[in-house]
Amino acid sequence: MRLSDFDDWARAHHGIVTLEGSGLSRSAWYRAVRGGTLLQLHPHVARLPGTPDTPEQRILAGVAAVGGGALASHRSAARLWGIPRPEVEPVDVIVDRAGTQAHLHGVVVHRPTDRRRLEPQRRYGIRCTNILRTLADLGAVDPDSVCDAVGHVIAVRLADLGALEIATLEHSRQGRPGTAVLGDAVDAWTIDAKPADSILEASMVRLIQRFRLPRVEFHPIVDGHEVDFRIVDSPVILECDGWTHHGLDRSGFERDRERDADLVGAGWIVVRFTYRAVTTAPHSVARRIRAATERWASSPSPDAA
């Protein structure tokens, strides 16, 4: 038997070969394992020597070993959806309650009573739960990661806050552990009942609360323009400049400057802050906001004039 016999299959399956997919008899399979042609990870699941040992390879191996319509879930599905995860952690797999009873090394098998949103998705060629189910499950095994996971999902537009709120409500009716954590994360990414457009805006809200700065209104319409924050009863507007949007999108940069000119011409004071400033120099940002507010405290906002 030659390794090249499995090359095509392995390239499409993260270096993973299964007894069922190999076309080998059981005796030939075991000979290949004993001879080192295949490196067995789980019963009837092996990797080809020389293939990279990756999280995706381990996830696929776990899903294949469990079988029976198994899906990568929880932490593993989060990784497949692009949510940052540790390089080494257990493989999570969801199966039907009547599924396998096998105990697999490094694999956590979940048999939920809540069967909502278990239609299989494919990420990197691996069957997994959809993003809403994934977030609802993640809170049960790694609650501290859920808030950042929700921020990632919103930022890359995998789901919006409306869909996340519906998922939280529906799964909480099933008595699911972790849905309260998801609900708290959704609340953390909502400002004045509106979704934050970026991690930067949520960071700005925390800064305002931390330093007890004047009350702000989130995403109000000011003279026909939607702005990030407006200090209540003040002509001061706070804008957040994220690198991805403003640093790489020249047309967006130009539109923002035109909008600033319109607002200043109408009597508003526009103060801009970068992600770097908000996250690395919060005291300086707070001081500038307070100074601008105090400087223009005696001036009515243009819409009240």
For domain 196-304, the CATH superfamily is: VSR Endonuclease (3.40.960.10)
- Residue 14: CB partners within 8 Å, gap ≥ 6? 51, 54, 56, 57, 60, 124, 125, 126
- Cβ 202 vs Cβ 151: under 8 Å: yes
- Give me the half-sphere count of Cα atoms (radius 13 Å) on the Cβ side of residue 205: 18
Q: What is the pLDDT of residue 204?
A: 87
Q: What is the pLDDT of residue 244?
A: 46
Name 45's bridge partners: 18, 42
Burial class (CB in 10 A: 0-12, 13-18, 19+), 51: middle
Q: What is the pLDDT of residue 55?
A: 96
Q: Tally Cβ neighbours within 10 Å of residue 47.
A: 22
Name 121's bridge partners: 128
Q: What is the pLDDT along the chain (305 residues), one digit of tens a residue?
A: 455 566 666 777 898 999 988 888 999 999 999 999 899 999 999 999 888 899 999 999 999 999 888 999 999 999 999 999 999 999 999 997 655 556 899 999 998 888 888 899 999 999 999 999 999 999 999 999 998 899 888 878 898 877 888 888 887 765 677 788 998 888 877 766 555 566 677 788 889 989 999 999 988 999 999 999 999 989 999 998 764 444 445 566 678 888 999 999 999 999 999 877 887 889 999 999 999 999 998 887 887 65
- pTM given for the model: 0.66
The residue written with tokens 């009837």 in the block is: 44
State both tokens at 7: 């090359």
Q: Tally Cβ neighbours within 10 Å of residue 210.
A: 11
The residue written with tokens 């994934």 in the block is: 134
Q: What is the pLDDT of residue 160?
A: 83
Q: What is the pLDDT of residue 113?
A: 82
Q: What is the pLDDT of residue 58?
A: 97
Q: Could you state, in order of their start, the residue ranges of all structural domains in the chain?
A: 3-47, 55-188, 196-304
- Cβ 121 vs Cβ 128: under 8 Å: yes
